[in-house]
Amino acid sequence: MSDKEKISDAYKKFAQDLEDIEEEDKQKKKEVLKEGILDLEQKYKEEIKGTHAVDARIVKLRKEAGMPELIGVGDKVQRSRFKDKDKFEQFLAKEVLEVGIEESRQYGGVILFSSFCSLFKNKRPNWDAPPKEIRKVLETLAIAGLIPKLYKMKNKSILITFKPAELETDLLSILNVAAATGKISKQGIMSLLGWQKERVELALVSILDQEIAIYDKKEELYHFPTLKK
């Protein structure tokens, strides 16, 4: 029997075991699924490594079990479990970029570092990645040109931009003056920055187009969800 046939038979037996579990007992199913996945990975680790199709199938099963996508990892993805520390950072960078691009869209692609750390913890509960680890991979992504460099605001907050290009200087200036409260008026920007009305209006059009801010006509205020901690 070939390696592929062995794996196929193992999957069939595994599927049969799963069918014996009551549908409503989801937690029990996840535990059995997890146990079975780890058992398969251990028995056929060499065969799995060389077969992309099997790789993809196991990753799908891992998602169903609420496990990390990384083959061979049980519950938490931690730096201490990697002999090659660069590998941990590579995998973490992939997850950070994926979460950042997807989740920051509603904020025009920008988000505060502190908010992103909380967001990442929520979206990737199986990852043990403290802020210092996330900061490190973000800086690596910026050096590689995959995201713009991190921007330190006047209130000491760090702004991340998950976009292919840097934010315009005027937009960053407005974000800086709005950082204290997360909202500001057109007059407030003119007063704080000393700009002419036309320059402010042009920058605000860009901010609204990129969905970085929401305009409240009643209050005549621009609200910046990304700046709210």
Tens-place pLDDT, residues 26-45: 666 666 666 665 666 555 55
Tens-place pLDDT, residues 48-75: 444 444 456 666 766 666 666 555 555 5
The tokens for 169 are 């200087």
pLDDT at residue 228 greater than cutoff 80 = no
Tens-place pLDDT, residues 96-144: 998 898 888 877 788 889 989 998 888 887 788 899 999 999 999 999 8
The tokens for 2 are 């070939």
44 Cβ contact partners less than 8 Å away, ≥ 6 residues apart: 3, 6, 7, 10, 54
Q: What is the model's pLDDT at position 202?
A: 87
The answer to whether the beta carbons of residues 206 and 168 sit under 8 Å apart is: yes
The tokens for 154 are 């006047």
Identify the weakest region by mean pLDDT among 101-115, 153-167, 168-182, 205-219.
153-167
Fold of 167-227: Arc Repressor Mutant, subunit A (1.10.10)
Sketch the domain layout of the chain as residue ranges: 3-64, 80-152, 167-227
The answer to whether the beta carbons of residues 88 and 79 sit under 8 Å apart is: yes
Distance CA 179, CA 82 (A): 39
The tokens for 144 are 């590689």
Assessment of whether the complete model's pTM goes beyond 0.95 = no
